[in-house]
Amino acid sequence: MPGFDLRELGWNDELAENLEPGLVAGRVAAVHRGAFDVWTEAGAVRSRLPGRLVHEGLEVGAGDWVGLSDGLIRVVLPRRSAIVRNAAGLTTTAQTLAANVDVAFAVSSLGPDLEPRRIERYLVTLWESGASPEIVLTKADRLDDPWPLVAGVEAVALGVPVHVVSAVTGQGCDALRARIGAGTTAVLLGSSGVGKSTLVNRWLGEETMATKETREDDDEGRHTTTHRQLLVLPGGGLVIDTPGLRELQLWDVDSAALDATFADVEELAAECRFADCTHTHEPGCAVLAGVETGELPHERLQSWRKLQRELRAIAMRHDVRLRKEEGRKWRLRTREARARARHR
């Protein structure tokens, strides 16, 4: 297969400085179960992690830059951004949805199921990632007047661009494509059937990503994307298409990401009488006053509180995992020391 120009894929001098001699540079284009498609100067290769790195829990995501030898991924180079969630299910495990992304599009379709609370959750994750978050509202052609719904999204996406598009009529698609310039990597994230792959196919000019048509009464539809896939767009720029997300559990999010998403709450909180105000019952609380006057919607405050609680729970789980890991390492060192003592 033909090779790739790594510079067009985003390779730079800083990455080169972090690549150990003897390793081959490549960018992860697709993530499968236990395997990875990696683009290199020699072409596309199917790779995997050696058993040691699997045991150590090394995380590899679409968009990662890696070092290869003997067909195996030996190292993941430092990321400039990473969109990470807690993996779906009951486990506490990080899952990288996309790495080294410049622009992250949170995609939702316009209709009765449009959920501002879900968009707030996406924004917290995207602000934490290091990528620039933007909102994409698809299927504008299905509504005679989508703008009240758009206004509702803009009210929670403070300082974040909101794009209204239709893959059927072409509305907004070219302007959205212009956000992905040469050397820029974007990712599309959203629930199943919101039109992520349809947008990608329009930009590619061909049906590269499989899709299924939706019924008139099925606003979300059904997705057929089964893995995260990096694609090169005509004219430059790259995009990562992703399977639909049924849930987006937060993972190790800094409070600054929550503050950026809820800038309106933070602005009111700065006016509270007490610096340690919890915004629940204190006199002189500007946040509660804002709810009473209608300046701050009550649902918005409830969402902020819910995500705060979730972040505290995550921090506690991380502490427990860290203590368990330290205990495991201590027991391993103790056994090794005893074994050495017996052989003296």
**Residue 103 and residue 77 in contact, taking contact as beta carbons nearer than 8 Å:** no
* Whether the predicted pLDDT of 225 surpasses 70: no
Provide mean pLDDT across the span 176-192: 94
pLDDT(208) > 70: no
- CATH 1.10.40.50 spans which residues of the chain? 262-332
pLDDT of residue 224: 53
Q: Is the pLDDT of residue 3 over 50?
A: yes
CATH code for 13-78? 2.40.50.140
Residue 210 has pLDDT above 90, yes or no: no
Joined together, the tokens standing for residue 76 give 């993941």
Q: Evaluate if residue 1 carries a pLDDT over 60.
A: no
Residue intervals in the chain for CATH 3.40.50.300: 83-90+96-241
Mean of per-residue pLDDT scores for the chain: 88
Mean pLDDT over 50-64 rounds to 91
Residues forming CATH 2.40.50.140 domain(s) in the chain: 13-78
What's the confidence (pLDDT) of residue 221? Answer: 44
Q: Tell me how far apart the alpha carbons of residues 267 and 269 are, in angstroms, rounded to a whole number.
A: 5
Task: Point out the least confidently predicted range of 222-226, 276-280, 300-304, 325-329.
Answer: 222-226
Q: Mean pLDDT, to the nearest integer, of 297-325?
A: 81
Check if CATH label 3.40.50.300 holds for domain 83-90+96-241: yes
> Mean per-residue pLDDT for 324-342?
72
- Rounded CA separation 27/67 (Å): 9
pLDDT in tens, 122-161: 999 999 999 999 999 999 999 999 999 999 999 999 999 9
What pLDDT was estimated at residue 206?
72
Q: What distances in angstroms separate CA 170 from CA 51, 123, 174, 198, one per listed residue?
A: 47, 26, 8, 11
Taking alpha carbons only, the member of 21, 20, 53 closest to residue 36 is 53
Burial of residue 67 (CB within 10 Å: 0-12, 13-18, 19+) is: buried
C-beta of residue 40 within 8 angstroms of C-beta of residue 24: yes
Query: Do residues 36 and 71 touch, judged by C-beta distance below 8 A?
Result: no
Nearest alpha-carbon partner for 32 in 83, 73, 77, 86 = 73
Q: Which amino acid is at 42?
A: A
pLDDT of 282 above 90:
yes
Question: Which residue type does 184 have?
Answer: T
CATH class of 262-332: mainly alpha
% of the chain residues with pLDDT over 70: 89
Could you tell me which of 133, 122, 117 has the C-alpha nearest to residue 304? Answer: 117
Kindly state the tokens that stand for 264: 């309106």
Q: Which of 14-18, 88-92, 162-166, 264-268 has the lowest mean pLDDT?
A: 88-92
Q: If pLDDT is split at 50, 70 and 90, which confidence band does 318 have?
A: low
Pairing of strands 35-40, 24-32: antiparallel
Residue 132 token pair: 């620039």
Lowest mean pLDDT among 59-63, 114-118, 190-194, 207-211: 207-211
**CB-CB neighbours of 203 under 10 Å:** 20
Confidence class for position 254, pLDDT limits 50, 70, 90: confident
pLDDT of residue 219: 42
| Exposure on the CB side of residue 339, measured as CA atoms within 13 A | 6
The residues near 120 (Cβ < 8 Å, ≥ 6 apart) are 156, 261, 262, 303, 307
Say if residue 223's pLDDT is above 50. Answer: no
Q: Tell me: the pLDDT tens digits for 88-123?
A: 655 567 789 999 999 999 999 998 889 999 999 999
The proportion of the chain whose per-residue pLDDT surpasses 90, expressed as a percent, equals 68
**Residue 209 pLDDT:** 54
